Amino acid sequence: MDELLRDFLTETGESLDRVDVELVRFEQDPNNAAILINIFRLVHTIKGTCGFLGLARLERLTHAAETLMGKFRDGMPVTGEAVSLILSTIDRIKGILDELETNQQESPGDDADLIGRLSQMAQHAAAPIPEQVPAAAPPAAAPAAVEADAAPAETDKAASDAPERPAGEAADRLASHSIRVSVDTLDRLMTTVSELVLTRNQLLEIVRRHDDSDFKVPLQRLSNVTAELQEGVMKTRMQPIGNAWQKLPRIVRDLCAELDKDIELEMHGAETELDRQVLELVRDPLTHLVRNCADHGIESPQARIAAGKPRSGTIRLSACHEGGHIIIRIADDGRGLDVSRIRAKAIETGLAGEADLAGKTEADICNFIFAPGFSTAAEVTSISGRGVGMDVVRSNIEQIGGTVDLSSAPGAGTTFTIKIPLTLAIVSALVVEAAGERFAIPQVAVLELVRAGGGGEHRIERIKNTPVLRLRNRLLPLLYLREVFALGEADRDTGFVVVMQVGSQVLGAVVDGVLHTEEIVIKPMSSKLRHIAVFSGTTILGDGSVIMIVDPNGVGQALGRAVQGQMEAIELTQSEEIAVDEKVALLVFRAGSQRPKAVPLPLVTRLEEIDCRRIEISDGRHLVQYRGQLMPLLRIDGDGALKSEGTQPILVFSDHGRSIGLLVDEIVDIVEDRLDIEVGGGRPGVLGFAVVKGATTEIVDVGHFLPQAFEDWFHHRNPAKAGAARRVLLVDDSPFFRDMLAPLIKAAGYQVTAVGSGEDALAAFKSGNPIDLVVTDIEMPDMDGFALAQAIQSVPAAAGVPIIALAAMVSDETIERGRTAGFNDFVAKFDRPGLIAAIKEQSAEATRAA
Amino acid sequence: MEANRNETEYVTFTTARQLFGLPIECVQDVFKPSRLTRVPLAGPEIAGVLNLRGRIVTAINLNNRLDLKTAADGKPPMAIGIESGGESFGLLVDAVGEVLKLADGEREPNPVNLDRRLARISAGVFRLDGQLLVVLDVERVLDIGLEAAA
């Protein structure tokens, strides 16, 4: 399209919208010369441009309208009829503009009808005006007149003309400070800035790894500038919500005429800004709601007077910011919703049964008006009551991540409250992991996060094969994101449960890990992927990779409806809650006695079967050639004779390149069970007893055997020679982990004090016991690892003590959070070599620093 | 000279041992796809999505799209960046060849015996020395949803 023509169309469209608003204002306030001048100027500009572009039809029409308005300016009384005529002229102009936009040329046509009426009205008015003395307006020109009185208008105009002009000039000057930029340009700019942000993040990550880099300071500046730039570009996309309201005064005016009602439209907070994309999307729902208020809400003038209300009804439109949202309220002072009629209608249309409704509150019943196919208007009017609308309003608003709510008081009116995000472009999202892939879940849908299994108080249970989670007094239906996405079978018992609100229902999505939250820039889904209901878009993460954004509604659909009903029926009481302990995979075996023994599976490096003939004896110790090394073999129970034939199963434990083999008679099973360990077996090498699969089982202390195998174990590992940190405080709420890790750290040559909570750890510091290093679990009740780390730093005696965190999940985000909290290092919970290495490294560093 | 005016340049590539050509004006860029993110529940023709300089590109596995067997030589695929309807796509192919200038007059309609899988997406063929170059019709390649429905 011709550039000039396109500019003309945009500009004229905007001007006309303003004329609409101004005219309605003018009709109510015909003495306001400022408004009139404004309208006149707008129409005049349109006329001028039309002439310039050779748009003859438009030019003729605008000319006729301008002439009539010129008469008003010269003092002709303003009548409702005249305003209606000008409004219909503007409608015609809009029609021609639409055609111009599609066909790029004016459609042929003759507007003689309108032009005739316009000039007739202008001429009729022309004669009487000069003679007009305080007399009434001539009936011929303005039969339905007349709120206006010509003479005062005249004087008013003269009076207000002078002060008005400078204001107009100011506006003109202001206009020259703004330029028109195409939305494409802005969108491209936005993309470029997003790219810049990503690059910045990458650079920051690199610099983080090199402590004393020269880049640090300039990069910090770059970082700040980037943030400002991002904010600035976001701002260019913001528009006042008033832009979406512009057509409303006109609509309400037309409705008044059509319905024979008297309605005033008040608008507050029109300057509230929101992203233009959101603005476009709320325009229609807003219009619909205002129509609805005018049609259903406000009573006829007679009814209002009868009810003791002012004759004229009011629709109040307001907007304001609240957090990251914008709240729009549409309130009328009409009759309010008729709850009994909605109830009847709900039953009649089969939306609900009598019994269902009995237990519902009035507010719940009112919400039925958002149900598809619902309308209480007794008569179908052209404005509303066609049974399409409110459901569409709600779904449109929900589509952009908003909510719509209503409250109503009989006789006093109805208020709709719409809450929508400021921008669709950027939302806060929770990044989760399922089957090794990352996904973003919009934060707005997430109610809470619960860790299931793995030591928390929550456990995934099953009712008729439906996984559920007991959460407070409710059973929450669960689904495994991994399975919803067809990424394979899920680990049924452990994971993180993302509790989501989907419409009116709450469900839990089980994921393998929760990584962090991130402000994400939403990019639309490819048209080839849009059919996949569980995703709503894609986004680029800080590290540059693309991930899918989960649509909670789509996920909700994956949950069978039958299941929901079943779930909702089951309410639990607090007393039924079951204390659940940590689940651990255990390797159960027999060695020596018949009593089963077990060792935590993650500690075992490998299971092997060796040929008994390969076992050698040297210095009274049993050895076997294993992977190019001589590996010592140990028996758990004393020194009974070894088998001399056949094969011998062994459990191989490796640590720091050294391995030992534990000789066992038979490997029985691998059991995943929660472990209630009775600590204190009395015997060395036994941590304690636990009931595993109904049998009392000895839990073997691997830490006991490691030093046995290597006499030099302590010498080899003892870092104390250098006078380095030696006293380690181990903090873990799980006795199992305490008992497993303490011997390990001991075996590496440190003194270990193990405590069960952050509070105990702080007490240990305060009691004055020298502590050189802290190893702490992150997830603990009451005071978690982060809080502990911060608390330790405020204890003077603990200044500079290195802290190592044990985490079940190590993500970049936790590491980052940990660094700020004061952790010196992070180790995964089962990474024993990693833990020992970290202890070594940190104590060596502490020594250097000292 | 006269013939020159009616020549079209084609970016050629092979996939599943078949030579294809795309008019050069259809091709935005050629790149090595990296960090491809799988899209769960998407059809086999969607290899995933990736970030190419801030744009999200939907990668199409052309071999799967055409039901052609992948030559399992383990070489990483190349991607041909194309644009359609304001969206970016990357066609994953085995190897990208040279740009050929071919006379429009020599382009022939699909031979009747052309493999049906190729015929679906072919906008004609060129008989080159010893092999057939199939001109890819981008729109038909991208017409994934409709075909699945049919």
Residue among A528, A538, A547, A557 with most chain B CBs within 10 A, to mutate: A528
Enclosing H/E stretch for A187: helix A183-209
Question: CA-to-CA distance for A674 and A691, rounded, in angstroms?
Answer: 9
Backbone φ and ψ for A148, nearest 5 degrees, come out as: -105, 150
Question: CA-to-CA distance for A123 and A141, rounded, in angstroms?
Answer: 9
Supply angle C-alpha A683, A685, A689, rounded to 5. 70
User: Is the per-residue pLDDT at A411 higher than 70?
Assistant: yes
From chain A, the residues in CB contact with B142 under 8 A are 528
Question: CA-to-CA distance for A668 and A649, rounded, in angstroms?
Answer: 11
Query: Token pair of B70, please?
Result: 């992948």
* Nearest by Cα to B118 from B40, B25, B38, B15: B15
Supply angle C-alpha A209, A215, A221, rounded to 5. 110
Contact A191 B54 (CB under 8 A): yes
| Average confidence (pLDDT) over A313-335 | 86
Tell me, what's the pLDDT at A537?
86
* Three-state secondary structure string covering A476-538: EEEEEHHHHCCCCCCCCCCEEEEEEEECCEEEEEEECEEEEEEEEEEECCCCCCCCCCCEEEE
Chain B, nearest residue to A541 by Cα: B51
Q: Closest approach of chain B CAs to the CA of A544, in angstroms?
A: 7
Tell me, what's the pLDDT at A273?
85
Q: With b meaning 16 or more CB within 10 Å and e meaning fewer, what string describes A536-563?
A: bbbbbbbebbbbbbbbbbbbbeebeeeb
From chain B, the residues in CB contact with A532 under 8 A are 39-42
Tell me, what's the pLDDT at A426?
66
Domains in chain A and their CATH numbers? 3-175 (1.20.120.160), 183-237 (1.10.287.560), 242-421 (3.30.565.10), 427-576 (2.30.30.40), 583-708 (2.40.50.180), 713-849 (3.40.50.2300)
Residue among A200, A483, A485, A526 with most chain B CBs within 10 A, to mutate: A526
User: Is the per-residue pLDDT at B11 higher than 90?
Assistant: yes
Contact B51 A540 (CB under 8 A): yes
Reported as a single tens digit per residue, the pLDDT across A549-575 is: 998 878 877 775 434 444 443 333 222
User: Is the per-residue pLDDT at A756 higher than 60?
Assistant: yes
Tell me, what's the pLDDT at A318?
93
Backbone φ and ψ for A312, nearest 5 degrees, come out as: -95, 130
User: Is the per-residue pLDDT at A534 higher than 60?
Assistant: yes
User: Is the per-residue pLDDT at A542 higher than 80?
Assistant: no
pLDDT band of residue B133 (cuts 50, 70, 90) is very high
Q: Is A679 left (phi over 0), alpha (psi -120 to 50) or beta?
A: beta
Q: Is A739 left (phi over 0), alpha (psi -120 to 50) or beta?
A: alpha
| Average confidence (pLDDT) over A623-628 | 76
State the CATH architecture for B3-149: Beta Barrel (2.40)
Among B35, B41, B144, the residue with its CB nearest the CB of A528 is B144
Contact B46 A527 (CB under 8 A): no
Reported as a single tens digit per residue, the pLDDT across A425-446 is: 667 788 999 888 999 998 878 8
User: Is the per-residue pLDDT at A708 higher than 70?
Assistant: no
List residues bridging with A313 in a β-sheet.
A263
Reported as a single tens digit per residue, the pLDDT across A761-795 is: 888 887 777 788 888 888 787 788 888 888 887 77
Chain A, nearest residue to B45 by Cα: A528
Question: CA-to-CA distance for A264 and A408, rounded, in angstroms?
Answer: 19
Q: With b meaning 16 or more CB within 10 Å and e meaning fewer, what string describes B38-59?
A: ebbbbbebbbbbbbbebbbbbb
Q: Which residues contact B142 (CB under 8 A, 6 or more apart)?
A: A528, B60, B84, B89
Contact A527 B87 (CB under 8 A): yes
User: Is the per-residue pLDDT at A383 higher than 70?
Assistant: no
Question: CA-to-CA distance for A644 and A647, rounded, in angstroms?
Answer: 9
Strands A773-777 and A621-626 come out as unpaired
User: Is the per-residue pLDDT at A167 higher than 50?
Assistant: no
Supply angle C-alpha A5, A9, A10, rounded to 5. 120
Q: Which residues contact A682 (CB under 8 A, 6 or more apart)?
A: none
Question: CA-to-CA distance for A536 and A522, rounded, in angstroms?
Answer: 9
Q: Is A483 on the interface with B (CB under 8 A)?
A: no
| Average confidence (pLDDT) over B127-149 | 79
Q: Cis peptide before A207, with omega less than 30 degrees from 0?
A: no
Of residues A173 and A422, the one with the higher pLDDT is A422
- CB pairs < 8 Å spanning A and B: 66
User: Is the per-residue pLDDT at A132 higher than 50?
Assistant: no
User: Mapping DSSP to helix (H, G, I), strand (E, B) and coil, where does residue A722 land?
Assistant: helix
User: Is the per-residue pLDDT at A655 higher than 80?
Assistant: no
Contacts 24+ apart (CB under 8 A), A513-516: A513/A432, A513/A433, A513/A809, A513/A811, A514/A430, A514/A431, A514/A432, A514/A433, A514/A449, A514/A809, A515/A431, A515/A432, A515/A433, A515/A438, A515/A811, A515/A812, A515/A813, A516/A430, A516/A431, A516/A811, A516/A812, A516/A813, A516/A814
Burial of residue A102 (CB within 10 Å: 0-12, 13-18, 19+) is exposed
Contact B49 A527 (CB under 8 A): no
Question: CA-to-CA distance for A362 and A410, rounded, in angstroms?
Answer: 11
Contact A512, A491 (CB under 8 A): yes
Contact B54 A526 (CB under 8 A): no
User: Mapping DSSP to helix (H, G, I), strand (E, B) and coil, where does residue A850 land?
Assistant: coil
What is the C-alpha end-to-end distance of chain B, expressed in Å?
46
Distances (CA, A) of A778 to A161, A732, A785, A831: 73, 8, 4, 15
The owner of tokens 């009328």 is A332
Helix, strand, coil tally for chain A in percent (to 5): 45, 25, 30
A38-42, A117-121, A512-516, B115-119: segment of lowest average pLDDT: A38-42
Residue among A529, A532, A543, A549 with most chain B CBs within 10 A, to mutate: A529
Of residues A373 and A459, the one with the higher pLDDT is A459
Instruction: Supply the DSSP string of A557-587, one letter for each residue.
Output: HHS-HHHHHHHHH-B--GGG------EEEEE
Among B37, B40, B58, the residue with its CB nearest the CB of A528 is B58
Among A485, A486, A546, the residue with its CB nearest the CB of B49 is A546
Tell me, what's the pLDDT at A324?
63
Q: Closest approach of chain A CAs to the CA of B125, in angstroms?
A: 27
| Average confidence (pLDDT) over A12-20 | 80
Q: Closest approach of chain B CAs to the CA of A484, in angstroms?
A: 9
The owner of tokens 């237990």 is A359
Among A527, A528, A546, the residue with its CB nearest the CB of B37 is A546
Handedness of CA B105, B110, B114, B116 (dihedral sign): positive
Residues recorded for chain B? 150
Question: CA-to-CA distance for B2 and A286, rounded, in angstroms?
Answer: 62
Interface residues of chain B, partner chain A, Cβ below 8 Å:
35, 37-42, 46, 49-51, 53-56, 58, 60, 85, 87, 89, 142, 144-145
Enclosing H/E stretch for A279: helix A276-292
Top mean pLDDT of A618-622, A718-722, B87-91 is at B87-91
From chain B, the residues in CB contact with A546 under 8 A are 35, 37, 49-51, 56
Contact A547 B35 (CB under 8 A): no
Helix, strand, coil tally for chain B in percent (to 5): 20, 50, 35
Instruction: Scan residues 540-579 of A and list those with Cβ closer than 8 Å to B.
Output: 540, 544-548
Residues recorded for chain A? 850
pLDDT band of residue A528 (cuts 50, 70, 90) is confident
Chain A, nearest residue to B52 by Cα: A544
Q: What is the biggest distance separating any 2 CA atoms in chain A, rounded to whole angstroms?
A: 134
pLDDT band of residue B89 (cuts 50, 70, 90) is very high
User: Mapping DSSP to helix (H, G, I), strand (E, B) and coil, where does residue A317 land?
Assistant: strand
Enclosing H/E stretch for A206: helix A183-209
Q: Tell me the domain boundaries of chain B.
A: 3-149
User: Is the per-residue pLDDT at B3 higher than 60?
Assistant: no
Contacts 24+ apart (CB under 8 A), A133-137: A137/A77
User: Is the per-residue pLDDT at A732 higher than 60?
Assistant: yes
Tell me, what's the pLDDT at B73?
60
User: Is the per-residue pLDDT at B82 higher than 90?
Assistant: yes
Tell me, what's the pLDDT at A398?
76
The owner of tokens 């994921």 is A511
What is the C-alpha end-to-end distance of chain A, expressed in Å?
75
Instruction: Supply the DSSP string of A774-828, one letter for each residue.
Output: EEEES--SSS-HHHHHHHHHTSGGGTT--EEEEESS--HHHHHHHHHHT-SEEEE
Of residues A830 and A530, the one with the higher pLDDT is A530
Instruction: Scan residues 748-767 of A and list those with Cβ closer than 8 Å to B.
Output: none
Reported as a single tens digit per residue, the pLDDT across A240-291 is: 888 888 888 888 888 888 888 889 999 999 888 888 878 888 888 888 888 8
Q: Closest approach of chain A CAs to the CA of B37, in angstroms?
A: 6
Task: Quote the pTM value.
Answer: 0.44
List residues bridging with B12 in a β-sheet.
B21
